[in-house]
Structure 1
Amino acid sequence: MKKVTIITIAGGSASGKTTFAQTLSDKIFKKHSVTHFSMDNYYKDFSDLKLEEREKLNFDHPKSLDIELICKHLDDLLKFKPIKVPLYDFKNHCQSGEYKIIEPSEVVILDGILALQIDEIRKKSDIKIFIRTDDDIRFIRRLQRDVNERGRTLDNVINHYLSTVRPMYKFFVEPSIEHADIIVPYYEGNVIAMDLVAAKINLLLSNK
C-alpha cells in the first residue's frame, strides 16, 4: 500500500489557509500527487431549522462540524480510497446535498480553522501548519468574501464576527498554534514562505 502523507493547515477565518494550501499543492505537485480539501464543507446539516435560526448558529465551534465524517474520509484516503466530499451551501447555512469526488494521492492537504484544535484530526497529521495573519486583515478579507460571495449584509458580518468568530478564535483557534510544526506569517505574495515550506515538505517526502 502506498504511503500517504497528511498535511493539515489551520488559522483564523480568512487568514489565507485555502490560498496557501492551493499554492502549496501546485509546488508539491511537481514531484508528488496531491489532494486538497477543506473542513468548511463538513458543517453539520441544519436544514431542519429556519434560515433565521441557522444564521444565529455558532459555526466556529467544534460541535458544528461532522468530525466523525472528516476522520473517516482521512482514513479512507490513507487506505488510498476515493471519498465523497459534501458541498456546503454557505448562503443558506446547510448542506446542499451535492458531493465532489476526491481521488486518493500521495499527499493529502486538509485546511480548516480548527484543523489543529481537534485531537482526532491532529493525530492523523504528519505535518501541521498554522497560518498567522493579523486580525484586521482577516476581518477585512472575511467582510469582502461574505458580502460579495455569500450574500451577507455588512451588519450581519460585523455582528457575527463580534459574537462568535472573534471569541471562538481566541478560545479555540489561536491556542492551537502550539501544535503546529510550522508557523507561517501570511500576507499577499509571501512567496518566500511558500517556497520554503514546499521545499521542506518535498524533502521530507523524498526521504520517505
Structure 2
Amino acid sequence: MKRPLVIGIAGGTGSGKTTLTRELSRRFSEDVTVLYHDNYYKRNDHLTYAERTQLNYDAPEAFDTDLMIEHLRQLINGEAIECPVYDFADHNRSDETLTVVPRPVIIVEGILIFCFPQLCDLFDIKLFVDTDADVRILRRVKRDVIERGRSIESVETQYLATVKPMHELYVEPSKRKADLIVPEGGHNNVALEMIINRVERHFR
C-alpha cells in the first residue's frame, strides 16, 4: 500500500485554512481524510465552565498534540482512528468521538501545527495560509458569534487577551516552516491549481 500524502495547512485564525481544506476535499472527495487540530484541545473536566472560558486556547500547551501525532501515524499506517470531538460552546472535549478512516490524502489543519517538530516531520507538504489581520478578525467575529454562540464582547476580550499575542508569538513565526505560503487560502485560484496538480501527481 502506497504511503498517504500528508498535507499540513496552518495559518492564523480566520485566515482561510478551512476554505482551502474544503476546496481540496471537494476536488478529491473520497480520497481525502481531514484531521482538525481543534478537535485535540485537552479535556478540562476538572475546571468549571467559568474557569474554562478563561483558559488560553491559542497556546501550544492547550492541545493534546501527542494524541494527534499518534492518530496521524495510525492513519499513515492504514489504521482507522477514533478522533475526539471538541464542543466549542462548552469549552471542553465532548464524550463523542468521530471515526476517521485512512485515505490516500490526509490533510491536517490548525493554527499551531507547525509549532510541533514531531508533527511537522509527518507532513509531505506544509502550506501556510496568510491573510490580512483585519480580514481575519472580522471572519473570527462572524464565525464565533453565528456558529459558536459567543457574544461579541467575549470574542473581543479573547482576541485581545490571547488570540492576537499568541498569533504574534507562535503562529506568525511558524510560517518559516512552510513549503508554500498561500495568500487568501482557498480563494487564491492560482495557488489552489498548483496544489491540486501536486496532489494529482501522488495518484500517478
- Give the 5 Å matches for 1:4-83: 4-29=4-29, 33-83=31-81
Residue equivalent to 1:179? 177
Residue equivalent to 1:105? 103
Aligned to 2:115, the other structure's residue is in SS state: coil
RMSD in angstroms over aligned alpha carbons?
Answer: 1.4
Aligned to 1:3, the other structure's residue is in SS state: coil
Residue pair 2:23, 2:186 contacting (<8 A) in 1 also: no
Indicate the percent of aligned positions where both proteins have the same amino acid: 40
Per-residue Cα deviation, 1:142-162 (whole angstroms, up to 9, x for no partner): 001111111111111001000
Residue pair 2:41, 2:93 contacting (<8 A) in 1 also: yes
Residue pair 2:113, 2:119 contacting (<8 A) in 1 also: yes
Residue pair 1:115, 1:121 contacting (<8 A) in 2 also: yes
Aligned to 1:68, the other structure's residue is in SS state: helix
Q: Distance in 2 between matches of 1:181 and 1:124?
A: 14
Residue pair 1:39, 1:110 contacting (<8 A) in 2 also: yes
TM-score (norm 1): 0.93
TM-score (norm 2): 0.95
Q: Match of 1:156, as an amino acid?
A: S
Return closer, same or farther for 1:128/1:189 CA change in 2, 3 Å cut-off. closer
Residue equivalent to 1:147? 145
Q: Match of 1:100, as an amino acid?
A: L
1:199 offset after TM fit, Å?
A: 1.2
1:192 offset after TM fit, Å?
A: 2.7
Q: Distance in 2 between matches of 1:51 and 1:150?
A: 15
Q: After the TM superposition, which parts of structure 1 deviate over 3 Å for at least 4 consecutive aligned residues? A: none
Q: Distance in 1 between matches of 2:86 and 2:140?
A: 17
Unaligned runs of 5+ in 1: none
Residue equivalent to 1:117? 115
**Aligned residue pairs, count:** 204
Q: Match of 2:107, as an amino acid?
A: I
1:26 offset after TM fit, Å?
A: 2.2
Residue equivalent to 2:160? 162
Aligned to 1:152, the other structure's residue is in SS state: coil
Structure 2 residue 2 is matched with structure 1 residue 2: yes
Unaligned runs of 5+ in 2: none
Q: Distance in 1 between matches of 2:185 and 2:24?
A: 15
